[in-house]
Structures are given as structure tokens and as C-alpha cells.
């Protein structure tokens, strides 16, 4: 059996007309002799609306009931879709997660799929049925409905592809694919034709939210090829695959940027063993995510300066925690909220020397000052002033030939 998994996101099934369009996409694969398994999100806006309703009922809405509530959005979309396919003369029906069942474990609102029972769906596929499976939801060992966290229907689709050993998983969305950089920041952004799982993970953790990060992680672990493309136009999208499948002449695959970072500098910190730990422990205890860190070498062996970045939303809490922290001594705390992190990502940098230099050089040509640097095997990030963000992204996009 040639099995393909098609996942449709909220905007792709956002209106009755969009659902009719999606039904036609599904039948086009049937005509190509695929056995199609569909996974659908809720119609766009529905999940948010349900969350708002729960908040009006109680500011501490029960988590188990919240999952029952939120999972209903997918049920609506799936039955409408199955209804349309039946109208067109196809054999189709909706499958709620508990009917299959899709088994999850872990907390409510952020459960993980641990198993999918294949029997019923397999039989249904063999009888030429088109199963329309609700994304985002599962059932746990207490027979309660669970959900997988926002954007979780991506993960549902990848897991369905895994358990049914699908030849491919296609994620239909409202953008052309994964872009070289955020088109809202830089309008010359181009669609990436093929990207490795690792690069995609870096891109999504750095703010390009095309797919739920954990779904990319699952695809990577299970070596599932994923196509991301638009349901609004019939064009090829982005293939997410293993590095070995990629023949690429580009060193850098994408440039990503953030707008909601803040930089904290502690000047004149008493330099002694364990000092960094005493600064960061209370932050981590309070769920404040520290991203980039630099510590200067102290010139006199007694005092040093320490700079780190956090999300801007955490600035006030961080300020307070540092002031209250009896274990540390420093002279001045400086806070800068007008910073941006710009990163270049690409597996090509592993084997190509001089990438760091080229990045720094092209920023310096534009007179952009670099405040903090951090690197990983396939990523280099710099912190710059927010007012230079667009200029920096444009310069790097050009320097690494992403415009072509
Ligand atoms: N409907 C859910 C959400 O809005 C799941 C999804 O769309 O992937 O988060
Ligand atoms: Mg989504």
C-alpha cells in the first residue's frame, strides 16, 4: 500500500469554501492511487475562541475539562471534511482520537503520543475509505481526552505517518513553505526548497513558526520526509529531510531573527567560583530562560562584567530576582530592551571555513555593532541593536546568496 498522510492546518480548513478546496486536494491523491490518511486541525480561530470561553467560565479552568473542550474544534473540521468527500461520492468518515485509539501519556494540555492502534484504520483503508483523523488530540490510560499543546496537529500527522509507515507526510498550510527569512522582516525572502531536520529545528526555535517544533523532532527521530506547502496554490513547497538527501551548494540555509529579546549586563561582579551559578539558579527556578551569555575575563582578577539575554517579558521579574539575590555582589545593572538576535543557520558551515568571518565582516560593513555572539555546530547568532535588524537581515541574506 502506498500510504500518504495529508495534514491540513487551521486556515486551510478555515471556511466552508476552504474545506471544499481541501477535499479536492485529497481526491487528487486518490486519483494518483495513494491510500490517503488525512489529519486535520480545527478551523482557524476556533481553538482560541474556546480558550477565551473557558477563561470566562473560570480563571482556573480545570485542565482535564480544557482538553475535552479544546479537542472539539478538530471534530467539527473533520466531520465537515468527511461530509464533503462523501458528497463528492467518496467513501470517507471522521475518526476521533479515542475511536482509533491514539494513546497519549504525560500532562493534560501537553500530552505526547505513545501509540496508535492501526487495526481499524488499516481495515478502513483497505476498504478504500479515506479516514479523516482529528489532529491535536488523544486519549490517556485513564480514558480521558488529552491534547498535545498548541499547534499539536502537526505532531499528530507525523506520528500517524510513523505508525502507518507512510511514504510521505505533507503539511498543508497558508504559506508557500519554509522561507529563508521572515518575509515580514525582509520582503526578498525566498522559499527554501529542501532543508534538513536539524536546520528546521534551529529555524523554528529561533522564531520561524511553520511547524510545531516537537513535530519536527519526531520527524527527525523517525526519518520521515515532510513536505510543507500551501493549500492555497498548487506549487511545490519545502522538503524537510535528512542531511544525506540534500545536495546543496548553499552554505547557509536561512537567516532568522527575534524581536523580543532583552540584554542584561551586571558590571563589577565579584569574581569567584560559582558566581555564574548563583546568578542563574534563581532565574531558572523561576522559569526564566537565559539564552546568550558572555562573561569578560576580569582584568584585575577580582571583578568581572557579565552579560546575558532573556525574553523581554521577563525583564521585570529578572531585575527583582537579581536585586534580591544576597549571594551576588555587583556595582551596576544595565538593561537594554531594544536588542535583536540575528542568526544564520546552515549545515554547510560545518565543512566551510570562514563563515563566522563573513558574517561579522558583512555586518561591520553596514556599521552594525555586535554585542554578544553565540554559536552551535550549524548556527551563529549575534545580538545587535533592534534598529539595525532589517539592515542586518538584508546584508546576511545577500552575503550568503539567499536572494537567488
Ligand atoms: N487546533 C490546535 C491549535 O490551534 C491544534 C493545531 O492547530 O495544530 O493549536
Ligand atoms: Mg499549525
**Closest Cα to residue 290, out of 262, 270, 316?**
262
The CATH number given to whatever domain includes residue 163 is: 3.40.1160.10
Nearest-angstrom CA–CA distance, 159 and 115? 9
| Residue labelled with grid coordinates 529563508 | 180
Cβ neighbours for 59, distance < 8 A, ≥ 6 positions apart: none
Q: Is residue 45 part of a domain?
A: yes
Nearest-angstrom CA–CA distance, 318 and 330? 15
Cα(153) to centroid(ligand 2), Å:
7
| Smallest-distance ligand from the CA of 151 | 1
Q: Is residue 302 part of a domain?
A: no
Q: Is residue 200 part of a domain?
A: no
Q: Is residue 154 part of a domain?
A: yes
pTM: 0.89
Q: Name the residue of 7, 40, 47, 156 whose CB sits within 8 Å of the most ligand 1 atoms, as the mutation to test its pocket.
A: 47
Cα(302) to centroid(ligand 2), Å:
51
Please report the pLDDT score of residue 271 as a whole number.
80
Q: Is residue 292 part of a domain?
A: no
Please report the pLDDT score of residue 237 as a whole number.
96
**Closest Cα to residue 150, out of 212, 97, 209?**
212
Cβ neighbours for 60, distance < 8 A, ≥ 6 positions apart: none
Cα(390) to centroid(ligand 1), Å:
30
Domain total in the chain: 1
Cα(301) to centroid(ligand 1), Å:
53
Give residues (CB < 6 A) around ligand 1: 10, 41-42, 47, 73, 135-136, 150-154
Cα(170) to centroid(ligand 2), Å:
13
Please report the pLDDT score of residue 207 as a whole number.
62
Q: What angle do CA 385, 388, 393 make, to 5 degrees?
A: 115
For residue 300, the tally of other CB atoms under 10 A from its CB is 7
* Domain around 133: 3-174
Please report the pLDDT score of residue 360 as a whole number.
96
Q: Are 92 and 130 in contact (CB under 8 A)?
A: yes
Q: Is residue 141 part of a domain?
A: yes
Nearest-angstrom CA–CA distance, 379 and 65? 41
pLDDT in tens, the chain (404 residues): 899 999 999 999 999 999 999 999 999 999 999 999 999 999 999 999 999 999 999 999 999 999 999 999 999 999 999 999 999 999 999 999 999 999 999 999 999 999 999 999 999 999 999 999 999 999 999 999 999 999 999 999 999 999 999 989 999 999 999 999 988 889 999 999 999 999 999 987 766 678 988 999 999 999 999 999 999 999 999 999 998 888 877 899 999 998 889 999 999 998 888 888 899 999 999 999 999 999 887 777 788 899 999 999 999 999 999 999 988 889 999 999 999 999 999 999 988 999 999 999 999 999 999 999 999 999 999 999 999 999 999 999 999 999 88
Q: Is residue 265 part of a domain?
A: no
Relative to the CA of 73, which ligand 1 atom is closest?
A: 1
Amino acid at each position: 500500500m502506498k500510504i500518504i498522510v495529508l495534514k491540513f492546518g487551521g486556515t486551510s480548513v478555515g471556511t466552508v469554501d476552504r474545506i471544499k478546496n481541501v477535499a479536492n486536494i485529497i481526491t487528487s491523491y486518490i486519483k494518483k492511487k495513494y491510500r490517503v490518511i488525512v489529519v486535520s486541525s480545527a478551523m482557524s480561530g476556533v481553538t482560541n475562541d474556546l480558550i477565551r470561553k473557558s477563561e470566562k467560565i473560570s480563571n482556573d479552568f480545570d485542565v482535564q475539562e480544557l482538553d475535552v473542550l479544546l479537542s472539539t474544534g478538530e471534530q467539527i473540521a473533520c466531520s465537515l471534511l468527511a461530509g464533503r468527500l462523501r458528497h463528492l461520492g467518496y467513501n470517507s468518515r471522521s475518526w476521533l482520537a479515542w475511536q482509533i485509539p491514539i494513546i497519549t501519556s504525560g500532562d493534560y494540555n501537553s500530552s505526547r503520543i505513545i501509540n496508535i492502534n492501526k487495526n481499524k484504520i488499516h481495515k478502513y483503508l483497505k476498504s478504500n475509505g479515506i479516514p479523516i483523523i482529528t489532529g491535536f488530540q488523544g486519549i490517556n490510560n485513564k480514558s480521558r481526552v488529552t491534547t498535545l499543546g498548541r499547534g499539536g496537529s502537526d505532531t499528530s500527522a507525523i506520528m500517524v505517518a510513523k505508525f502507518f509507515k507512510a511514504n510521505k507526510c505533507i503539511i498543508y498550510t497558508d504559506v508557500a513553505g519554509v522561507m529563508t527569512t521572515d518575509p515580514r522582516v525582509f520582503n526578498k525572502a525566498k522559499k527554501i526548497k529542501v532543508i534538513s531536520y536539524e536546520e528546521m529545528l534551529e529555524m523554528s526555535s529561533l522564531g520561524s513558526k511553520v511547524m510545531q517544533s516537537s513535530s519536527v523532532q519526531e520527524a527527525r527521530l523517525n526519518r520521515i520526509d515532510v513536505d510543507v506547502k500551501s493549500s492555497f496554490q498548487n506549487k511545490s513547497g519545502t522538503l524537510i529531510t535528512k542531511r544525506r538527501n540534500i545536495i546543496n551548494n548553499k552554505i547557509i540555509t536561512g537567516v532568522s531573527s527575534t524581536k523580543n529579546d532583552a540584554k542584561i549586563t551586571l558590571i563589577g561582579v565579584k569574581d569567584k567560583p560559582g558566581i555564574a551559578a548563583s546568578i542563574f539558579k534563581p532565574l531558572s527556578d523561576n522559569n526564566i530562560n537565559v539564552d546568550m551569555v558572555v562573561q569578560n575575563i576580569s582584568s584585575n582578577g577580582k571583578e568581572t562584567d557579565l552579560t546575558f539575554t532573556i525574553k523581554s517579558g521577563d525583564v521585570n521579574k529578572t531585575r527583582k530576582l537579581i536585586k534580591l539575590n544576597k549571594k551576588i555582589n555587583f556595582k551596576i545593572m544595565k538593561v537594554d530592551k531594544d536588542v535583536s538576535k540575528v542568526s544564520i543557520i546552515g549545515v554547510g558551515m560545518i565543512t566551510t571555513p570562514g563563515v563566522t568571518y563573513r558574517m561579522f565582516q558583512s555586518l561591520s560593513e553596514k556599521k552594525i555593532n555586535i554585542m554578544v555572539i553565540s554559536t552551535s555546530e550549524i548556527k551563529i547568532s549575534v545580538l545587535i541593536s533592534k534598529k539595525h535588524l532589517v539592515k542586518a537581515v538584508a546584508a546576511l541574506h545577500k552575503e550568503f546568496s539567499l536572494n537567488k
